[in-house]
């Protein structure tokens, strides 16, 4: 028998401006790893400040629809004509959230029109700010909004995993839905014949492609890891994700989580070792081993930038010290930079090729000759030899027609420049 008490519980909750969300919205919120989504779920069955309830999905990305509490109560009374018999055997509510979830599910199944009429659209980010004024930063809200957008399931979208020649096909910009976002701006979107190192190694390199109506809206390389110093159980790694919409990045990372793959923590081209695996962020050295051969031309690499052509190993770093003869794959025109024998410079934080390295006694360090100046030894000079050209104490003297160090000089008001102490005459 239908319980009048259950109807009383529902109507009282409605009159108290209780937050309700549709089963679809609830499913998306539960699938987002965010404090904001958890906070919204915790408010189900609770009073909220904005007059917005029975939240449902919208046809527009990043938007939801709502109805005011007054209209919701009116519609429910009209639907049931004041008759409390609209729910069958609702269990005794354990808490407000349970009641809110159960009522929403019942209405979605039995009264679908309730969710279609007298509704208003609102941006999900704006609603978060209204429910939790001042609680979350703009950055936190933006991340949540992107995650919410990315949680939308579209019938026309699908993932495919390709290898071999198909990798080059799906890199080509004419197969994109539109040339926009990170995908459209990719430096490899209009290149051909650069991808042999991908195409010819299907055992360790594939491409995950997100399609909408058979047009590319996102892609990411999937690498099989040869070994790992910290976590040997990492088998696959998802490289940087290029998408038209930033929110679609979440779809890729969710895919990686479902497959048990590691993925880049920061979706950019300059964090090589920051990865996320099983929900844990870490710095990790990884190696991919490809077939040893001359690939002629090479793509720009986002993560595995260092390549040893003798062993076929790709490393997620740009370490030069001790790796002479290896390649850095950071060129957008198919070329590479060979690591030469060099001298490490603390001043530049870099390995300097031998032919361009000069020793500075003043700095006790190696410097780039092309970025340094040489001060000739002269009687009375203390500071001589090689100095960085951006040393604030290095001065080019028009009077002497050479570089000098200001500590070996005195300033002449008459000449309006520094003069070597040996050439200066004190005037009264």
Question: Do 103 and 138 contact (CB within 8 A), yes or no?
Answer: no
This prediction's pTM: 0.63
**pLDDT tens sequence across 42-82:** 988 888 888 888 999 988 888 999 998 888 877 877 776 65
For residue 88, what pLDDT is reported? 34
Residue 382 CA to its chain's centroid (Å)? 51
Residue 267 CB burial class (10 angstroms; 0-12, 13-18, ≥19):
buried
Q: Which of 37-51, 107-121, 401-415 has the lowest mean pLDDT?
A: 401-415
Q: What is the Cα 412 distance to its own chain's centre?
A: 55
Nearest of 339, 337, 336, 340 to residue 196 by alpha carbon = 336
| Chain centre distance of CA 40 | 25
Q: Let me know how long the chain is.
A: 428
Domain residue spans in the chain? 4-150, 157-289, 356-423
Which pLDDT tens digit goes with each residue over 231-249?
568 999 999 999 998 889 9
Tokens of 365: 């360090």
Distance, C-alpha 85 to centroid of its chain: 51
User: How far, in Å, CA of 288 to CA of 34, rounded?
Assistant: 32
pLDDT (0 to 100) of residue 415: 64
pLDDT bucket at 153, cuts 50 / 70 / 90: confident
| Per-residue model confidence (pLDDT) at position 426 | 46
Instruction: Please determine, for residue 424, whether its predicted confidence score (pLDDT) is greater than 70.
Output: no
- CATH architecture for residues 157-289: 3-Layer(aba) Sandwich (3.40)
Q: Could you tell me if 239 and 265 are in contact, meaning their C-beta atoms sit under 8 angstroms apart?
A: no
Are 18 and 53 in contact by the 8 Å Cβ rule? The answer is yes
Quick one: three-class SS letters along the chain? CCCHHHHHHHHHHHHCCEECECHHHHHHHHCCCCHHHHHHHHCECCECCCCCEEEEECCCCCEEEEECHHHHHHHHHHHHCCCCCCCCCCCCCCCHHHHHHHHHHHHHHHCHHHHCCCCEEEEHHHHHHHHCCCCCCHHHHHHHHHHHHHCCCCCCEEEEEECCHHHHHHHCHHHECCCCHHHHHCCCCCCCCCCHHHHCCCCCEEEEEEEECCEEEEEEEEEECCEECCCCCCCEEECCCEECCHHHHHHHHHHHHHHCCEEECCCCCCCCCEEEECCEEEECCEEEECCCCCCCCCCCCCCCCEEECCCCEEECCCCCCCCCCCEECCCCCCCCEECCCEEEECCCCEEEEHHHEEEECCCCEEEEHHHEEEECCCCCCCCCEEEECCCCCEEEECCCCEEEEHHHEEEECCCCEEEEHHHCCCCC
Q: Distance between CA atoms of 375 and 386, rounded to whole angstroms?
A: 6
Distance, CA of 150 to chain centre: 14
Q: For residues 119-129, give the mean pLDDT.
A: 92
- Number of Cβ within a 10 Å radius of residue 97: 16
Pairing between β-strand 236-238 and β-strand 262-264 as defined by DSSP bridges:
parallel
pLDDT, one tens digit per residue, over 164-204 is 999 999 999 999 999 999 999 999 999 999 999 999 999 99
| Cβ–Cβ under 8 Å, residues 151 and 28 | yes
Task: Find tokens 């939790």 and name the residue.
Answer: 132
* Res. 428: pLDDT tops 70: no
């Amino acid at each position: 028998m239908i319980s009048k008490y259950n109807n009383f519980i529902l109507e009282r909750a409605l009159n108290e401006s209780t937050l309700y969300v549709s089963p679809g919205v609830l499913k998306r919120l539960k699938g987002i790893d965010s404090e904001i989504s958890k906070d919204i779920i915790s408010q189900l069955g609770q009073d909220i400040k904005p007059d917005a309830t029975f939240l449902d999905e919208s046809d527009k990305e990043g938007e939801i629809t709502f109805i005011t509490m007054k209209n919701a109560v009116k519609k429910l009374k009209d639907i049931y004509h004041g008759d409390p018999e609209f729910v069958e055997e609702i269990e005794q509510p354990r808490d407000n959230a349970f009641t809110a979830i159960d009522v929403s599910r019942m209405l979605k199944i039995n009264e679908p029109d309730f969710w279609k009429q007298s509704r208003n659209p609102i941006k999900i980010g704006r609603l978060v700010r209204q429910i939790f004024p001042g609680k979350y930063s703009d950055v936190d809200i933006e991340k949540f909004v992107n995650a919410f957008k990315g949680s939308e399931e579209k019938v026309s979208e699908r993932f495919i995993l390709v290898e071999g020649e198909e990798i080059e096909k799906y890199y080509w910009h004419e197969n994109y839905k539109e040339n926009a976002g990170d995908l459209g701006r990719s430096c490899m979107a209009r290149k051909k014949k650069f991808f042999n190192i991908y195409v010819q190694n299907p055992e360790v390199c594939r491409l995950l492609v997100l399609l909408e109506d058979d047009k590319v809206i996102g892609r990411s390389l999937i690498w099989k890891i040869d070994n790992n110093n910290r976590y040997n159980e990492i088998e696959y790694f998802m490289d940087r994700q290029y998408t038209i919409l930033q929110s679609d990045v979440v779809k890729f990372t969710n895919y990686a989580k479902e497959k048990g793959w590691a993925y880049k923590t920061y979706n950019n081209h300059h964090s090589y070792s920051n990865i996320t695996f099983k929900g844990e962020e870490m710095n990790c050295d990884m190696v991919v081993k490809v077939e040893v051969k001359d690939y002629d031309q090479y793509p720009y690499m986002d993560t595995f930038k260092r390549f040893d052509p003798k062993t076929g190993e790709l490393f997620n770093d740009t370490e030069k010290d001790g790796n002479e003869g290896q390649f850095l794959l950071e060129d957008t025109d198919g070329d590479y930079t060979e690591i030469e024998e060099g001298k490490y410079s603390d001043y530049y934080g870099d390995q300097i090729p031998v032919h361009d390295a000069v020793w500075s006694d003043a700095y006790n360090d190696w410097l780039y000759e092309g970025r340094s100046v040489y001060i000739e030894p002269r009687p009375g000079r203390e500071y001589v030899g090689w100095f960085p050209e951006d040393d604030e104490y290095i001065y080019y003297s028009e009077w002497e027609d050479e570089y000098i160090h200001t500590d070996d000089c005195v300033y002449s008001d008459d000449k309006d420049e520094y003069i070597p102490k040996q050439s200066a005459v004190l005037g009264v």
